[in-house]
Structure 1
Amino acid sequence: MTTSFGAQALALAGLAARVLGWRPADFWAATPAELAAALALGAEAATPGFDRAALERLMENEHGR
């Protein structure tokens, strides 16, 4: 099952709001690495889990390319 980009972004934005007190503009201005660092995800955050290819796959699924 593939989760849409919108659903994943909404979940992460909600997490950033609850845990970090970020407003939507703060979330969208941050890079994935900045979000991981702010959430102190540790060593596993240093390993890219959401790279350009993953973003492109999500965008393809979202836009039905």
Structure 2
Amino acid sequence: MRAARFDWPALMQAGMRGLGLRPAEFWALTPAELELMLGTRAGIAPLRRGGLEALMADFPDAPKDTKDE
């Protein structure tokens, strides 16, 4: 399986031209920070109560032993 490649020219253009970043500022960013600045995750909704309840039902915490030993 081959890892996904970044389109560096497009990312550099978006960061330096679109966001006005200097090269040093662009290269200092993590991919997550650049993604946040570009707004590429704006369409992903946060986890809501129903989703949390479904996760809790699928992956319950192990019961805790309440006896004093």
After TM superposition, the score normalised by the length of structure 1 is 0.49
Give the structure with the larger helix fraction: 1
Q: Which has the higher Rg, Structure 1 or Structure 2?
A: 2
- Higher relative CO (Cα under 8 Å, sequence separation at least 6) belongs to 1
